[in-house]
Amino acid sequence: MLCENCGTQLAQNAKFCDACGTQTAAEQANILAQQEKNRQENPPAFLDVKTAIIITVMLLVILPVVCVFSDAPAMLGFITAGVMGAFCLFMGIRNQFFKK
């Protein structure tokens, strides 16, 4: 087996070229296969409904308080928190139904 980068002769079970350090094609294929297997076994985390509710409640409490102490109208904090909370709830509920 030859190195694809420098052409040096490699051992059959080599993972890297001794001369230039390039990964062998077989090792690259093994890594890609392992990454795909890991991705299938451990899908990306979704925002669950419980977490979305906790985030919404925190937003509804914290943002209006911040607005009061920063001379902004408290209503602005409630509106912002409501919009952000609604989005979090939507994402949590959506992910409950569309998990793979």
What's the pLDDT score for residue 12? 84
Helix or strand run (H / E) with residue 63: helix 49-69
Report the 10 Å Cβ neighbour count for 42: 8
Report whether 22 contacts 41 (CB < 8 A): no
Q: Parse the chain into domains and list their residue ranges.
A: 1-42, 49-97
Q: What mean pLDDT do residues 67-92 have?
A: 74
Q: What mean pLDDT do residues 91-100 have?
A: 65
What's the pLDDT score for residue 44? 61
Q: How many helices (H) and strands (E) does the chain have?
A: 3, 0
Report whether 78 contacts 64 (CB < 8 A): yes
CA-CA-CA-CA dihedral for 88, 89, 93, 99, to nearest 10: 10
The pTM assigned to this predicted structure is 0.38
